[in-house]
Structure 1
């Protein structure tokens, strides 16, 4: 039976995790996944539905941090410029980005037929990592139907490890995948949450440093750091887009704590949103009120972003299961290494 990082005694940071220790501890956030395996395939789709309702007509405040831009994601430029998110966030393999964009556009048009005609076009947000080492990426197996299926089955429960977009991913020479975590923050007497979901596909073999200081070496020949990581951060703390972007920057600290240095060939991207502020597509007034946390309290969110990102990556590694990769390729499991090491 798969075990999360905490089951191995790996508990990064000092903040209290949320009830599930998942991104879905943020109320309203749901995740759906489709996994594709067989005939050389280990790939899939992970969809984060950030809030109920029509995201195009009632957008979320958002931000993005491109730590190292070796990646082919879609929608990040407009998200950074306007500071809003107007579709779910879909994660997949590098060659699946265009298909996922089309699926998000079609879903948005179904919900708001005026898109592209009586009103503006929609900014679909898709992130990617390259699973070509363990999957036949040239098969371009992800379809629009897979994306819509992932969106439709989104729920509070998040599967981790070799599932969805993480099915064919590698991390620090071990089998990588999807992981999630959360941390609690108290704001004005109310318990709020910041959650992270990652697709972990980065890191040089032999560089992984665990929270207890051990270096976990898979005994693979070290290669240049490459591969990529997508981090999605969600919170119900009210923030403006500048603050969300600042919080996203701290996701990079969680990645670095584990031993990564964001190498030339690694795409390291963090995007985030808050569910506490909604921005109307067609506002009735020239000005609208916006709640924001005082910057004197934002250190708590910085720490939460760092800890939840680190914890989510460890969960991805610990929950990963073996896959039969393209041309017989495989990756060892961190869970096996921890069992041998007495972790």
Structure 2
């Protein structure tokens, strides 16, 4: 079993985790990840992660949702519809930059196949419209032959076919896996990470709500890395310099590439998906999405939200959401249609601090897990020959002990 950040002695936040400490702790959530070689004979990889907030057969049932863009040099398709309508009714996919288009096409294929199986006609398809939600980060430091990073249609189809939940014994694979394949974080190999927290639903109830995050980390420089409040990146950089490695202001040359490398190759991006089964309203989900920035800053400090970075966050709730389609109407003038409503519970405003704390905690831990699971080995060699180190697990563990981070 792969080590995670808690195995190094640091447990972010104060709330308890769910059983698997992953996004699959939220009931009904399904995930699939596909990872393939970027080119034949190369150790570099590319991939795709698909998350269905509801069981695939119920994919079209809305989930209240919102998104937040901390820095916008990246893309999340479907965000405008999500923010205007206040919900999403389609799976969410994370991949690399050049695969954005083929994943959108593949999602449309899957959606139409599902609608065919349900016997939907044209009007029903139109009334359940959902823009594909696909986010991207640029894997160009490892996958420097950029044209080779595009996935194939069969890769996307395979990923949709693999959607499974916790009840199916599914697990979230972290590190250089799925959409996170080929990514780096603070210039270490990383990629996909996840974490979860539970929040009490009341003194008279044994039940608890779950809030979880899945991130695709691909940002940051060594000198900005912080773990548990300890400036680990600066300490590692100082040690590298003491060993005589050639170093520049952003980190060591053998790990980070030449000093002139910049833009999306170095400053990267991060995608964060937050899912809860708590009945948060759209404006509350927007607030939660914004608070993902707190967790990101806990790890990335000054690397968060750089000019060339796409820091884009989604928050959604899988709680009950009635159908958005009107019932028993004839299609005449839109202005003359009757007003219909659905009932929904909403978390009280004074409860929101718990969700803000949980969001910051799961995001911080998910990012750390993406690096820890992606580390501990010899790292990888980029397609242009640049050596990308794995996260130095034992040295970080020692530094956390030295600086008394044991929680």
Do both proteins adopt the same fold according to a TM-score greater than 0.5, normalized to the shorter chain? yes
Question: d(CA) in 2 for partners of 1:103 and 1:115?
Answer: 20
SS at match of 1:301: helix
Question: d(CA) in 1 for partners of 2:349 and 2:398?
Answer: 45
Runs of 5+ unmatched residues, structure 1: none
Number of aligned residue pairs: give it.
343
Question: d(CA) in 2 for partners of 1:131 and 1:277?
Answer: 37
**Is residue 229–residue 298 contact of structure 2 (8 Å, CA) maintained in 1?**
no
Aligned counterpart, 1:151: 160
Question: d(CA) in 1 for partners of 2:123 and 2:383?
Answer: 44
Question: d(CA) in 2 for partners of 1:308 and 1:24?
Answer: 13
The alignment status of 1:317 with 2:371, answered yes or no, reads yes
Aligned partner of 1:280 among 323, 332, 341: 323
Aligned counterpart, 2:141: 133
Aligned partner of 2:75 among 67, 72, 75: 72
SS at match of 2:320: strand
Within a 5 Å distance, the mapping from 1:287-306 to structure 2 comes to 287-306=341-360
**Is residue 180–residue 195 contact of structure 1 (8 Å, CA) maintained in 2?**
yes
**Displacement, 1:148?**
2.4
Going from structure 1 to structure 2, the CA distance change for 1:272 and 1:139 (only over 3 Å counts) comes to same
SS at match of 1:78: helix
Within a 5 Å distance, the mapping from 1:323-338 to structure 2 comes to 323-336=380-393, 337-338=395-396
- Give deviations 1:310-335, integer Å, cap 9, x for gaps: 00000000000423321112321223
SS at match of 1:2: coil
- Give deviations 1:161-189, integer Å, cap 9, x for gaps: 11111111111121121000001101133
Aligned partner of 1:196 among 213, 219, 224: 213
TM (normalized to structure 1)?
Answer: 0.93
SS at match of 2:294: helix
Going from structure 1 to structure 2, the CA distance change for 1:103 and 1:169 (only over 3 Å counts) comes to same
**Displacement, 1:55?**
4.8
Question: d(CA) in 2 for partners of 1:240 and 1:11?
Answer: 29
The alignment status of 1:228 with 2:236, answered yes or no, reads no
SS at match of 1:199: strand
Going from structure 1 to structure 2, the CA distance change for 1:115 and 1:78 (only over 3 Å counts) comes to farther
Q: Name which one, 1 or 2, has greater alpha-carbon Rg.
A: 2
Larger helix percent:
2
SS at match of 2:67: strand
Question: d(CA) in 2 for partners of 1:206 and 1:151?
Answer: 38
Question: d(CA) in 2 for partners of 1:117 and 1:83?
Answer: 22
- For the aligned residue pairs, the C-alpha RMSD in angstroms reads 2.1
Question: d(CA) in 1 for partners of 2:71 and 2:28?
Answer: 30
- Give deviations 1:264-316, integer Å, cap 9, x for gaps: 11100110111103241424271111211001101111111000000000000
SS at match of 1:216: helix
- Give deviations 1:26-82, integer Å, cap 9, x for gaps: 011122100112434421001111111545642111111111111022111111111
Going from structure 1 to structure 2, the CA distance change for 1:116 and 1:315 (only over 3 Å counts) comes to farther
Question: d(CA) in 2 for partners of 1:303 and 1:100?
Answer: 33
TM (normalized to structure 2)?
Answer: 0.79
Question: d(CA) in 1 for partners of 2:351 and 2:295?
Answer: 20
Deviates more, 1:21-30 or 1:222-231: 222-231
